[in-house]
Amino acid sequence: MILFGASISAGIAIQYFLEKNEKIEYICDTYKSGIDISGIKVFNIKKLKHEDKTKQIVICNSGWETVAENLKDMGFNNLFVFRVQSNIPYMSAKKFKVIGEETDISKKLVKMYLDCYKKELDAVSEESALIRLDSNYSNSNMYKQEEGYFEIWYEKYNNIIDIKNYKYDKSYKLTIQKYFGAGAVRKPFYVVYNSGSSDCLVSSVRRNYPMYLEARLLLDILSYQETEKVLIDLGANIGIVSMIFAAEGYKVFAAEAGKENAIMLSMAANINNYSIMVTNQAVWNYTGTLYFKENGVSGKVVKDGGGEKTNCVKCFALDDWKKVKEWHNLKKVSLIKMDIEGSEINAIAGAEKFLKEFSYPPVYCESNKCTLFEKGYKVKDLFDIFSKNGYVPYILHENGLMEVDIEELQPKTVQDYLFVHNKERLLIKKMYGKMQKEEIRKLLLNEIKTMPIEYVNMTLESLKDFSEYCNDDEIKGYIK
């Protein structure tokens, strides 16, 4: 059989079928690949295109109905749904066969799963497990809707971001959830998100899926900074990274262009009693306005305002940070995190004075070939603008920082880099040499074999500038 969905349910399903001595060939997932769960390899959904259509597929996913319909469209009919989690309360046995339901073994496995996280759950103190309440709102009514308008539950925080009379759909609801990330975060915290969102980030929070594991490495690498620590979070979204660092004692100054996200981050900062100053603006190479399309984790700057959910928003250049009222107390910067969907080059272009003023702090930056291409850039352009300001790119490795040659190919479509200024390099203890060509080749082949087609196409497009990889016998076959 094949399992579909590299989620928590898959881990429980593996144990369930092992108890029954049933063989699992592999796990398929829409987004994840190249990993394994309990020794079972995870492949991208593309692998199913060439699979025997009579194979039994067991769906381990709370969104099982959509997955099942997609699999039926691909020609698979021998479909099952693995149900042990309470987040799938009703199941139509008429449409699909159901296994694992209300059995002694499934109850036992759920208990095993919950017990394995008991340590993390116990680490949440009684005090931090309580939502801080003010007289202006109650636990049972964290928000109210009146004539289609969302009114913030505590008017005092209106000076953070202009929320009053901001129009929402009447179905708009919020969820407040404790996130402990299956042990990925050292100090759990509350997250606020749109209950109806299908955003991949929200889905991960909802399932307490481990995210931003690299944050621990960053915190360790930056431990040499002994004085007050400050994070600049550009493209903060609903604030997972902001809160991971705030929980560790960092002051956070966040910028988020999406109004919904900025509202939810502001609320979460208050609930957790964290020092997070949020400005609802985009970061660009000038101060003024631009068009921004809200799309959850993928919100981005666009050329014009004609599209759905596209608004004219305020923007600022980091060089003009003193004009941002929410940031007026900014006195130092320990780290800049930048994930702004292809706008990274524009942001750095407007930050040369800012970087110098704050002694060239490290910058943790996403490099996404697809979003850079949409803005007319390549990865090399990103490397060049950082290099112009004296920065060297590194990849986070469990043994430390691995230096990257700026003339080399970025093998993955999406890669996060820690850019460290030349003057800071000697202060960072955990260095792990340079990335070698064989490592690049392995990552490149894995990207081509396992990632979604749009990523593969972009990777193959980027190979045009790197003839040595185009001439590799194994890679050559995929180019054709």
| Interval 272-292: pLDDT, tens | 889 999 999 999 999 999 998
**Choice between 476 and 229, residue whose per-residue pLDDT is larger:** 229
pTM: 0.68
**Mean pLDDT, residues 376-405:** 91
Q: Which of 84-88, 180-184, 298-302, 475-479 has the highest mean pLDDT?
A: 298-302
Among 11-25, 58-72, 145-159, the minimum mean pLDDT is found in 145-159
Question: If you count them, how many residues does the chain have?
Answer: 480
pLDDT in tens, 208-230: 777 787 887 888 888 777 778 99
Q: State the pLDDT at residue 330.
A: 95
Q: State the pLDDT at residue 126.
A: 32
Q: For residue 469, is pLDDT > 90?
A: no
**Choice between 306 and 357, residue whose per-residue pLDDT is larger:** 357
Cα–Cα distance measured from residue 68 to residue 63, given in angstroms and rounded to the nearest whole number: 9
**Mean pLDDT, residues 350-367:** 95
On whether the CB atoms of residues 342 and 376 are closer than 8 A, the answer is no
**Choice between 95 and 160, residue whose per-residue pLDDT is larger:** 95
| Confidence class for position 423, pLDDT limits 50, 70, 90 | confident
**Mean pLDDT, residues 77-84:** 72
Query: Smallest Cα–Cα separation from 419: which of 408, 432, 404, 407?
Result: 404
**Mean pLDDT, residues 99-128:** 42
Q: What is the CA radius of gyration of the chain?
A: 24
Question: Can you tell me which residue has the tokens 């996060």?
Answer: 416
Residues 6+ apart with CB under 8 A from 194: 172, 173, 174, 175, 202, 260, 264
Amino acid symbol at 165? N
Q: State the pLDDT at residue 451.
A: 77
**Mean pLDDT, residues 75-100:** 52
Q: State the pLDDT at residue 392.
A: 94
Q: State the pLDDT at residue 439.
A: 87
Cα–Cα distance measured from residue 174 to residue 389, given in angstroms and rounded to the nearest whole number: 42
Q: State the pLDDT at residue 59.
A: 84
| Confidence class for position 442, pLDDT limits 50, 70, 90 | confident
Name the E strands within 235-354.
251-255, 276-279, 282-283, 288-293, 300-302, 310-316, 335-338
Query: Smallest Cα–Cα separation from 230: which of 210, 207, 214, 246?
Result: 246
**Strand, helix or coil for residue 105:** helix
| Confidence class for position 435, pLDDT limits 50, 70, 90 | confident
**Strand, helix or coil for residue 115:** helix
Residues 6+ apart with CB under 8 A from 231: 241, 242, 245, 246, 250, 251, 252, 253, 334, 335, 336, 337
Question: Can you tell me which residue has the tokens 């993928």?
Answer: 298
Query: Smallest Cα–Cα separation from 166: which of 192, 143, 184?
Result: 143
Cα–Cα distance measured from residue 54 to residue 113, given in angstroms and rounded to the nearest whole number: 31
| Confidence class for position 428, pLDDT limits 50, 70, 90 | low
| Structural tokens at position 324 | 């941002």
- How high is the mean pLDDT of the chain? 76
Quick one: DSSP state of residue 247? H
Q: For residue 119, is pLDDT > 70?
A: no
Cα–Cα distance measured from residue 461 to residue 463, given in angstroms and rounded to the nearest whole number: 5
